[in-house]
Structure 1
Amino acid sequence: MFFPTMALFRSTPQHIQRCSRSISSRANLLARQNLPARATLTAQQSRAYRKQQHLLRSLLFLTAAGSLATLSNYYLQNNGRLLRTTHAESPEQEENPLVFEASRKQPGLSKEENRDLISSQHHQVKRSWENPGLYAWGSNTGRVVAPDRPEDAVVKTPRRISWFDGMLLRDVKLDRKFGAAINEQGDLVQWGTAYKPELRAPEVTLKGKDLVRLSISRDRILALGGNGKVYSISVSAEEQLAGNKPSEASWVPFWTWRSDISYRTIEPKGLGYREKVSAIDSGLEHAILLTSKGRVFSMASASDAFPNRGQLGVPGLTWVTRPEGAFDQPHEISTLNGFPIAQVACGDYHTLVLDTSGRVFSWGDNASGQLGFDFNSESTIIDAPSLLPTGRLYMGTSQVPLITSVAAGGSNSYITVEATRVASPNDDSNDARTKRMLGRVTADTFAFGTGIYGQLGNGRWTHMQYSPTKIPILSGLFEYDERTNRTVPIRLAHLSVGSTHAAAVMRNITYLSATERTSSDDTNWGADIVFWGGNESYQLGIGKRNNVPSPVYLQPLDAEAEVKRSRKSSGSKEEHRFHLTPRAMAKLGDGRWKSVEQRVECGRGVTAVYSGT
């Protein structure tokens, strides 16, 4: 019996059809060759002959059909390519063979030098410790980001302000026309044209107050001392010298003197035993004071305008109805009594507070939806704290939200949320995936307010957003923690919000333990940081002027040094992204061991990254 072989067939369907016809013809030929002489057949022989002929044809046709099916299946599985011969062929060469990158280590270099070559992040961490200071970029019309270069209207990418080289700072706040910082000794540092029009370097102004936090309004600086005292200082050096200079006292009895500059001391009334101001924040015309017992006070913070958009949080309080005394005296927001507040945040004309139970209250101007409430045609102002309805954000998702932080700036507000997966009536109790998901925490970030410059971070250009909208790139992120062998959510460590742009520092897993005793492949790495929003003055630091509606990475602060390092290690320019160094005990360039971290500050058309203590 005949069985076709693979060598008889070519690689097209037409040849398979020809093969089928050939097999049928061969079957008929074999049948005719076995046919005996009809004249000599008996009836019995004739019946036997027909049965034999029928069986033979059936077997041949079954063989032909099976061979055809085998060939068709082989043709489909091999994308129409049938082997021309029965012997094995060598495998085809891959179009893109796997190529391993050559080691970047170089002989003759130290362990630390090779670490710098193989890891950009390790190099950035090392430089932040060896060369602490302040980088700034954005608008320079007020000589804030480059005080020694008044000819530069803008600074497109991060640039060091040399006056701060080697310094650790407690806090920094920036406006387009003035800057303020607290040095390591707790003294106030000021610069910019609003301070002194022709000044080319920062100057120390208020001294000896052990300042720890700063906040700025339109024309005044609020500084919080370590003892809870709040100081209000004019931005202008001229007003500081011309104003009333208070008397200073010493620990030595009867020894007093006049302050070098004019300032005011802000003291909320009715503070309890050991209660003091623990946090401050401010908008253009108002400021919020938070005490150690969770009470909230509001005050006017500018000398040229009294708050009139409800941002004080006291219904009916205006310039005309204010009580006797200083115009900037603090007023307790009694509506929040019974809700111990943990955080406060101010935009230009609105306020958000977060209590210890994760509830958010907002008040002030809602013209762009920055309070998180629907538009009211009768009034865009809410002059009393109102509870933000955050429960509806996860309605129908089997998740319970908890607000963990608030941030605000300009006409925008932001909240971070931890949503925990709980049991649902629709869940299958026997489903393994459902059991694994119970208790899982997802970290999300929401934005609301104006988005015409991309401040919402959701990839859209929106004039007004009255309900919180999720920032996709900053939500639902996870990473694997090798220390605990678990997948953990990536939360936000800090949100800094300027007038039209923002920056987010991620609380991703970092590593700062590479030492001389560990492997040369053991390198340090920091926290991811992204920027988005308005970029009219290059305040995003990307080197271009276009606004960015979605969070983006920045190149390393010292980009030129990074290019040289890349060319040394690989012979070509490589693109790396900026990572912020988290807090750690580190040896500085001057030999001191200090607890230090890098921080970001977004202001009004300007941005800074500095070494904080």
Structure 2
Amino acid sequence: MLRSAASRTSIPAFKAASQRHLVDGSRRWIQTKARHTRKFGQHGGHNGNTTALVVTAAVLGTCVAFARTADIHNDAKLELEGGRIDPMLARGTEVWDGENLRSLVWGSNRSRVLSPTSKQIELIRTPAVATWLDGVALRDLQLHETYGACVDGNGDVYQWGDGFHNGMVPPKGHGLPPRLTLKGKSIVQLQLTENKIFALSSSGHIYVLASRALDQIKAPGAPTPSSDGWWGTGWLWGEDQAINFAQLTSNEPLNWREKFTSIAAGKDHLLALTSTGRTFAHPISKKANTHGQLGFTNFAVPDPAATIAGLPGAHLHITLTPKSVSDPNWKASRSVRVASDSEKQLGDEDLAAVHDKRVGFCPFIYEVPALRGIPVEQIAAGARTSFVRTPNGRVLGWGANEFGQLGLGDKVTLDTITIPTEVVLWRAISRDLDTNCTHIAAAGDLAAFIVDRSSQFNASYSELLMTGNGQYGGLGNNIHTTAQSNASHVKAVSGLQQFNDKTQRLEPIKLTSVTISPTGHVLVSVDSSADSNGVGGDDVYIWGRNFEGELGNGKKSSLATPLNVALEPAPYTGVSFEGLPVVKGPIDPVRKDQRLMLTERKANEVKDLKGHVWKRGVKVRQSVAAGYGTSVVYWKIVV
């Protein structure tokens, strides 16, 4: 991360104090000068008054210049009424020091997702310090539209935001602080949806809990389903908790020592990957298979009638057929389409009495049949799409494709792909180049692929390819288009190379990560610090939708080309004639490079969200998270 002058004094307070001292000092100087003028006026004559006027003008000019240059984007709205600063946020100029762990946030805060206890701040259009995360490093952090959740060093889950505290009245209009909801499970990864949170533990168990606090209330006397997704034996092992949650159970027993290692959630479906490379999927709601994104159609849910009758073992076997399969003309106008008996999906009537917002909607997770026997290295889920990456760098995708988000090419015009199909990432390149996909990412209606191109004749290089809906510039190719089915490369961050003095050859500048928000803005980190002896880090580029200030550039216009994430420049401080600090200019001439860079370090101490020291000497690195119109850079614990 960029290192700059650190100060715990707020900018408005510092400005007011500096102005007050300057004005008071100028008054005392002028009064002294006036006494000397009256006493020695016969010698000074007209020159004494002229000197006083000149000094007065100079001092006032300094005050005016300071007031102009020290202001930092009024639309950032970090101030509350009366000029007070929100205690949960700080200016970007106050972020950098070599000791504390500081996290940055910017974008929409209407639901208090970025600053939980804020009172009036709605938009943060430039990166600001989230002081409520000072000294904290997390295992994971995820943001949804109206709430957020994270995992601290203990592996406990915290939630916050207006969507989580729905129905609770905050004191005097302020929000409520993060609340501990799931503890003692050693959680390592979270995935958020509108009504549910999915949590993966270090032991490979997948838990599901409600996204709202009121929905987490456990019925009196009800057991906690902590040992399995169904019977609830938490009381036997002393694992009972105050909230209601469930654990997903595989429809087929896992192999010896096999466990779930990764999860990825779309809008209504969940993907999971095991340690042996098997891919599973789970229906989150009744809309889980509208475009075949599950990879199967049949699953079981608890029978509500049997549960009421006291027979918890009964299930309903449901078939969710994709709309394009059950009714090929479902998009046609009803005035011209032919009435179809299959207009309703099979299972709609059976599901009418089933509440899919409850954590026990479906307690099972199923292996994707078409991927049996195919080892998978990574999974990714868009809003209605699913992707897997194999160990040899191939990519398969299925689900919604009306914006070309699967990247299957312009010859595939189907809106729905129900069978995992290979995404060809080597179109329009030389046959001498070998292509290997190293990372995939998806969210909303966008998908991204990091690929390495290599040949025996030329130096290798890394590229970022994107597909899907680029209406707000999310494709990063300087074009605003609603559909991109051929994977197009983002030119500004693709094909970059640098000369290595040690090896005396060109080496690729690698792309290390891609993060896509559900609303369509993209953050990419590029490792340009190879062989720099630890100086620098990963440059962060950002582009796409910018309606809520999520690009952090102080504007509200979307951007179709990558832009460096910039921070507020540190003011250049000097010393006044009274020995007081005073801002002489808007930018420190020694620190001209103000771009954000992600770094890795060993923290002296790491705190949990309760403010207690969790552990000392912990290796941490900065990581990026993106939500609905929000962006966060936080410290993540390196496992």
Which TM-score applies when normalising by structure 2?
A: 0.67
User: C-alpha deviations, 1:366-422, integer Å up to 9, x for none?
Assistant: 01110012468984011121111223242x353121111111111001111111124
Question: Is 1:548 the equivalent of 2:559?
Answer: yes
Aligned pairs for 1:344-383 (under 5 A) are 344-374=379-409, 379-383=414-418
Q: Which residue of 2 aligns with 1:219?
A: 195
Is 1:530–2:541 an aligned residue pair? yes
Q: 2:432 aligns with which of 382, 394, 398?
A: 398
Is 1:313 paired with 2:295?
yes
Return closer, same or farther for 1:378/1:248 CA change in 2, 3 Å cut-off: closer
| Root-mean-square deviation (Å) | 3.2
User: Equivalents in 2 of 1:252, 1:377: separation in Å?
Assistant: 50
**Counterpart residue number, 2:262:** 279
Aligned equivalents of 2:530 and 2:582: distance in 1?
26
CA distance in 2, matches of 1:593, 1:565: 33
What secondary structure does 1:457 align onto? coil
CA contact (8 A) 1:213 1:224 kept: yes
CA 1:270 to 1:553, structure 2 compared with 1: closer, same or farther past 3 Å?
same
> Cα gap change, 1:593/1:125 in structure 2, threshold over 3 Å: closer, same or farther?
farther
CA displacement, residues 192-218 of structure 1 (integer Å, 9 cap, x when unaligned):
111003442111110011011111122
Report if aligned partners of 1:140, 1:176 keep a CA contact under 8 Å in 2.
no
Per the TM alignment, residue 126 of structure 1 is displaced from its structure 2 partner at its CA by: 9.8
Q: 1:581 to 1:377 in 2, by over 3 A?
A: closer
Aligned in 2, Cα 1:565/1:541: closer, same or farther, shift over 3 Å?
Answer: farther
Quote the Cα distance in structure 2 between the aligned partners of 1:379 and 1:388.
14
1:508 maps to 528
CA–CA distance in structure 2, aligned partners of residues 525 and 329 of structure 1: 46
* Counterparts of 1:473 and 1:356, CA distance in 2: 27
Change (3 A) 1:128 1:194: farther
Number of residues of Structure 1 aligned to a counterpart in Structure 2: 462
Quote the Cα distance in structure 1 between the aligned partners of 2:97 and 2:205.
32
SS at match of 2:492: helix
Larger % of helix: which? 1
1:133-212 equivalence runs, <5 A:
133-197=102-166, 198=170, 199-212=175-188
Could you say what secondary structure the match of 1:169 adopts?
A: coil
Is the Cα contact below 8 Å between 2:226 and 2:233 reproduced in 1? no
For residues 538 and 93 of structure 2, what CA distance do their matches in structure 1 show?
A: 11
Bigger Cα displacement from structure 2, 589-598 vs 276-285 = 589-598
Cα shift at 1:334 = 2.1
Distance in 2, matches of 1:355 and 1:467, equals: 20
Distance 1:383 1:350, change over 3 A: same
Kindly indicate whether residue 511 of structure 2 is the aligned counterpart of residue 492 of structure 1: yes
The one of 240, 249, 266 equivalent to 1:258 is: 240
User: What amino acid maps onto 1:563 in structure 2?
Assistant: P
Decide which of 226, 232, 237 is 2:213's aligned counterpart: 237
Structure 2 unmatched runs, 5+: 1-91, 299-318, 322-345, 352-359, 575-580, 607-612
Q: Which amino acid aligns with 1:240?
A: Q
Match in the other structure for 2:304: none
Using the alignment, how far apart are the partners of 1:246 and 1:305 within structure 2? 27
**Which residue of structure 1 aligns with residue 8 of structure 2?**
none
Structure 1: state its 5+ residue gaps.
Answer: 1-122, 423-437, 515-523
1:460 maps to 2:479:
yes
Superposition pairs of residues 418-497 of structure 1, within 5 angstroms: 418-422=452-456, 438=457, 440-497=459-516
Question: How far has the Cα of 1:570 moved from its partner?
Answer: 9.1
Partner residue of 1:573? 587
Q: Secondary structure at the match of 1:335?
A: helix
Is residue 599 of structure 1 aligned with residue 623 of structure 2?
Answer: yes
Change (3 A) 1:380 1:467: same
CA distance in 1, matches of 2:586, 2:237: 66
Name the residue aligned to 1:9: none
**Which residue in 1 is equivalent to 2:571?**
563
What displacement does 1:479 show? 1.4
Contact 2:94 2:129 in 1 (8 A): no
* Pairwise CA distance, 1:484: 3.4
**Sequence identity percentage:** 27
3-state SS, counterpart of residue 467 of structure 1: coil
CA distance in 2, matches of 1:125, 1:398: 51
- Residue in 2 aligned with 1:104? none
Q: State the alpha-carbon separation in 2 of the partners of residues 253 and 352 from structure 1.
A: 39
Deviations 1:257-295 (A, max 9, x none): 531111110122321111000111101101100000000
Over 3 Å counting, the alpha-carbon distance change for 1:128 and 1:539 in structure 2 is: farther
Task: State the Cα deviation string for residues 587-612 of structure 1 (Å, max 9, x = none).
Answer: 35889322011011111111111011
Evaluate the alpha carbon distance shift between residue 168 and residue 257 of structure 1 in structure 2; reply closer, same or farther with a 3 A threshold: closer
Verify the 8 A CA contact 1:510 1:527 in the aligned structure 2. no
Structure 1 counterpart of 2:176, one-letter code: R
Larger-gyration structure (1/2)? 1
**What secondary structure, in the 3-state scheme, does the structure 1 residue paired with 2:571 have?**
helix
